[in-house]
Structure 1
Amino acid sequence: DRARPPGIGQRAGRGPAGSRRTTFGVHGERSASGAAPYVAPGAPAAAAARTNTDVHLFYYPWYGSPAVAGSYRHWQQGGHTPPNDIGADLYPKFGAYDSGDLAGAVSQHMRWIQQSGAGVIVFSWWGQGSYEDQLAAGVLDTAARFGIKVAWHLEPYPGRTAASTVADVNYINSRYGGSPAFYRDAAHGNRGAFYVFESLRITDWTALEQVKSSSIVLAQTTDTSKVAHFGGMYTYDAIAGATAPGWKGAADFCNANGLVWAPSVGPGYIDDRAVPGNTTPTLARNNGATYDTEWQNALSAANGGPPSWVSVTSFNEWHEGSVLEPASSAPPAGFGYQTFNGAYGKTGVAAETAYLDRTKYWVDQFTGTTTPPNPNLALGKPITASSSTPGFWQYYANDGNALSYWESANNAFPQTLTLDLGAPLTSVSKIVLTLPPSSSWGTRTQTLTVKANQTPGWPYATIVGSRDYTFNPATGNTVTITFPPTSVRGLQLYFTGNTGWPAAQISEFQVYRT
């Protein structure tokens, strides 16, 4: 079993030991192990459901079956005998499936993930040449067909160090960075995301400075004294999410220091069959009430919410019973399996997808797409600018038309774009900025500060410090900025740079309430 640092829930599953370590070349070269960089297969795209890339599901590709892998992998954990007897307290609707069954299990996973509204899976990765590494390209290909993105969960394989983690990040970027499914966060410099499980096992992470420009590396902790050199924090623990210990301090620290805060929520936890005799406490699902509580904790202003991302433990960690993946409503008899029966008032087959559907509800709550909708408060409100290029006036920035845009005077930074939301004061927590969604607009990074005031004519105070935001046509030329709920009358964007044009440029300045 995996050991855990204090305060972190135990992970029941085991990854492969003895993963091969190598050194790596720059992007586009082969690694020392001879692994070629990813080449997109050009597979036809499946119809994409509406998903959100700020919600990430931890995803486990370590399962095997005789039909595909030649033998069972992981399902036998805890001394069990698949296919009917597996090391889990819930039984998959798919049975003891294989993570290499791309056309079957993995494609269905992507459909279910679409149904959940989440846009990113966080792929459990156990080192170069590991079983999971060998499956990564196929999972990326399948994810790409369904419009799902892939981030990375760097697991504690034997011998992992800060230096080997840097090598792993470089290897993953080089080998898989060409996939259309490779996740990059446009709101944080268009960088990939790497979650480091049990990061507290290593004390000196100075080496991460080598990959900061290309990658957001997250520490698994809420201890802000342990995250020097990291790009953010997450928690993973599905048990701790019920009480959110340390979340407010972690959120405030991340907001103040320009880091990503990605608290982890889960529907429950039970690993009794996978780890017989384990003393880790269980967390009952309570027919969905537990999951709702954890989402509320993640989004609550009292805990520093809304966060940059919400990470979900998990899509399919069956050993720990934290799954959203549909569990069979009629599992093999005689083994004591639980079911989702009763979740959110659903029974039988209808309950199998209850947690996918509830995830969609919470994704909508998080992203402001609920019905009734969380309206764009900036639409049509009075807007002023420090300057405008003739024909590209400031009122184009909140006219509801993404094709029209405001452009400031050229070669004259700094510049400002200011909204008056009117009285009374409004509590807001999210700004969405866009440029025209056209491939003719090359990727560009604009440097800006977000300021606010509460009384007309009063000075504007900074609520989000100066940061670089990358607008990329491949991701809709959209940037989302979140911050703790703040009561405001006016909002101002203060621009100091643009790598694509010597002026500030915005096609839509959208504002959403708490």
Structure 2
Amino acid sequence: MTKGQKAVTEKYFILPLVLVFVLSIFATIFVLGTHPFRTQPTVFDEEWNGQSHHRLLQNYSSGASKNKLNVTTGAYYYPWHGEDFHNGEGFLRAVLKPRQGPELGEYDDTKKKTIKWHLEFSDMANLDLWVTSWWGPEQITDTTTRDTIMKQVEKEGHPLKIALLYESTNRLRVNREWVLDEDRIKADMKYLTKEYFDHFDNYLRIDGKPVMFIYLTRVLQREGGDHEAGQTLLQKTIALMRKEAKQEIFIVGDHAFDSYPEDVMSSTAALHNSSLQILDGITNYDIYGWMIGQRSSSYPGVDRLNRYYFWHQARWKQIAAEHNCVYIPSVMPGFNDRGVRDSGKVPLSRRLTPTSREGSFFEASLKRALQLVDEKADNLLVVTSFNEWHEDTMIEPVRTQDQTTQPESMTDGLAYSGYGTLYLDLLRNYTRDFEEDPMRWSKMMSDYEFE
């Protein structure tokens, strides 16, 4: 080979490498430049237009939910993020090393740009419903739902439904004591009827009635006097709510947490029954509390998961049906509140077992929960949660990062992944492929006999 031939060969060998290198630099600048991984609680500023997020939509059509079969999918949505995300409070992913923040950064969901992206994410996941946390009139959860979410849904003609989660720890307590504050309840129901039930076409209805979820009805049940005389705090509260709504409303209680007693003639069973008679539906928000309880293991495992859905929750569905009350199953991806509370709680891993993959607990839960949907509740399934970052129960996209266990004081040694859109993908795939099996209940009963 002559020197000239050698030079030509080197030229044609080196040029492609240089071209690849230059293109990779431009690609990096484009991605990081349009969406820097922010450490400050501010997003959607005037200089940033969020274009990098369009990569998330490449594999989805805008009409994703049209492919979904016979199941209605909802998620608890927290509209409490402002300019300082949520009062500047911490969350687990913010202190992981490396940090794993929201795909949108620490956003402000009073901004319509945030809601537009959350609607896109909901389409990607086949979500039909947001159950939005409600802490009272003119609180940020109220104004964001009323003035931003509902208006954006109406503007886009989006099919998303909205229901409210009535936050009882705020609305039904005074100085940390559970009370029947009649004036507050009357004012709340008048306000909710005017601003939500009678105002918003996309407000969720079952049997033609506006639906309201109430947090911790199981706690309200224990307060008060003689349940046979309708004197528990729950009974008195629900009766007053129905009266002041001036219409029939469909109330879903956060109720299916404690085990229904084996002795159906016991006073505890009678107390539960009295609550089921005044509620229209029941569900369980706190899957963590049942999965972990007093256990020291963070991994739920197959046996405990089966017992939860096919014995504990199936039992609640059966008892609810006997009292003309619908049942709504729920799923949760995991739980870790160490970023906001020094509670010492054992986290709930997002992996079913130590050797399982990221998202395996959520996936296994979906498979089981879908067998419990109730046709009288439009086969509704609810996810805890879309964006509760404090307790790390969110399925909202997280910026992609390698998994980490650091710092162990926060993770308890569990591996956390910057999972991207994994949970949206799982929810979409399982709800898309769900087909109602008319024999599912009898099959389940034969495998898990109630004692």
Calculate the aligned-residue CA RMSD, in Å.
3.8
- From 260, 281, 288, give the equivalent of 2:359: 288
* Alpha-carbon distance in structure 1 between the residues aligned to 2:114 and 2:428: 21
Query: Which residue of structure 2 aligns with residue 218 of structure 1?
Result: 252
What is the Cα deviation at residue 192 of structure 1? 1.7
Residue 400 of structure 2: aligned partner = 329
2:74 is paired with a residue whose SS is strand
The answer on 1:179 being equivalent to 2:200 is: yes
| Offset at residue 321 of structure 1 (A) | 1.0
Matched residue type, 2:193: N
Q: Deviations over 1:205-230 (max 9, x none)?
A: 24424528532111112254343411
Counterpart in 1 of 2:427? Answer: 359
The question of whether the paired residues in 1 share the 8 Å contact of 2:328 and 2:374 is answered with no
1:56 to 62, 69, 74: 74
Q: Taking CA–CA contacts closer than 8 Å with sequence separation of 6 or more, which of the two structures ends up with the larger relative contact order? A: 2
The answer as to whether partners of 1:57 and 1:120 remain within 8 angstroms in 2 is: yes
SS in 2 for 1:287: coil
Does structure 2 conserve the Cα–Cα contact (< 8 Å) formed by 1:236 and 1:263?
A: no
Instruction: Pick the aligned partner of 2:152 from 136, 142, 156.
Output: 142
The residue aligned with 1:99 is: 109
Tell me, what secondary structure is at the counterpart of 1:329? strand
Q: In 2 relative to 1, CA 72–294 (structure 1 residues): closer, same or farther, beyond 3 Å?
A: closer
Distance 1:268 1:334, change over 3 A: closer
Which secondary structure does the structure 2 equivalent of 1:246 belong to?
Answer: helix
The answer to whether residue 287 in structure 2 is matched with residue 238 in structure 1 is yes
Residue in 2 that maps onto 1:190: 208
How far off its partner does 1:280 sit?
A: 4.5
User: What is the Cα deviation at residue 130 of structure 1?
Assistant: 1.4
1:252-401 to structure 2, matched below 5 A, reads 252-285=318-351, 286-300=357-371, 308-330=379-401, 351-366=419-434, 368=435
Q: 2:375 & 2:363 partners in 1: Cα distance? A: 15
Gaps of 5+ in 1: 1-45, 66-70, 369-373, 375-426, 430-482, 488-514
Give yes or no for contact 1:125–1:152 (8 Å, CA) kept in 2.
yes
For 1:202, the equivalent position in structure 2 comes to 220
CA distance in 2, matches of 1:270, 1:288: 15
Contact 1:266 1:291 in 2 (8 A): yes
Stretch of structure 1 that moved more, 127-136 or 176-185? 176-185
Tell whether the 8 Å contact from 1:184 to 1:190 is kept in structure 2 after alignment.
yes
Q: Name the SS of the counterpart of 1:364 in structure 2.
A: helix
Separation (CA, whole Å) in 2 of partners of 1:166 and 1:89: 45
Give the count of matched residue pairs: 309
More helix by share: 2
C-alpha distance in 2, partners of 1:294/1:306? Answer: 21
* Distance in 2 (alpha carbons) for counterparts of 1:171 and 1:58: 21
State how far apart, in whole Å, the 1-side matches of 2:163 and 2:376 are.
21
In 2, the alpha carbon distance for the partners of 1:58 and 1:97 equals 17
Partners of 2:236 and 2:277 lie apart in 1 by 8
Q: CA 1:321–1:207 in structure 2 vs 1: closer, same or farther (change >3 Å)?
A: closer
C-alpha separation in 2, matches of 1:263 and 1:140: 26
- Specify the SS of the correspondent of 2:194: helix
Counterpart contact for 1:149–1:183, Cα < 8 Å: yes
| 1:69-84 matched pairs, under 5 angstroms | 71-77=84-90
Separation in 2 of the partners of 1:258 and 1:278?
Answer: 40
Alignment-mate amino acid for residue 254 of structure 1: A
Q: Deviations over 1:307-339 (max 9, x none)?
A: 7421101110111111110011149x998599x
SS of 1:150's equivalent in the other structure is strand
Correspondence for 1:11: none
* Larger of the two Rg values belongs to structure: 2
8 A Cα contact 1:56 1:309, kept in partner: yes
Choose from 117, 126, 134 the match for 1:117: 126
In the superposition, the TM-score normalised over structure 1's length comes to 0.53
User: What is the CA–CA distance in structure 1 between the aligned matches of 2:187 and 2:332, rounded to whole Å?
Assistant: 31
Q: Which residue of structure 2 lines up, in the alignment, with residue 227 of structure 1?
A: 276
SS state at 2:79 partner: coil
- Aligned equivalent of 2:228: none
Superposed structure 1 runs of 4+ greater than 6 Å apart: 303-307
Shift of 1:255: 2.4
Identity score, percent: 19
- Contact 1:248/1:304, CA 8 A, preserved across alignment: no
Which amino acid in 1 is paired with 2:203? Answer: F
Q: Which residue of 1 aligns with 2:136?
A: 127
Q: How many angstroms apart in 1 are the aligned matches of 2:422 and 2:85?
A: 28
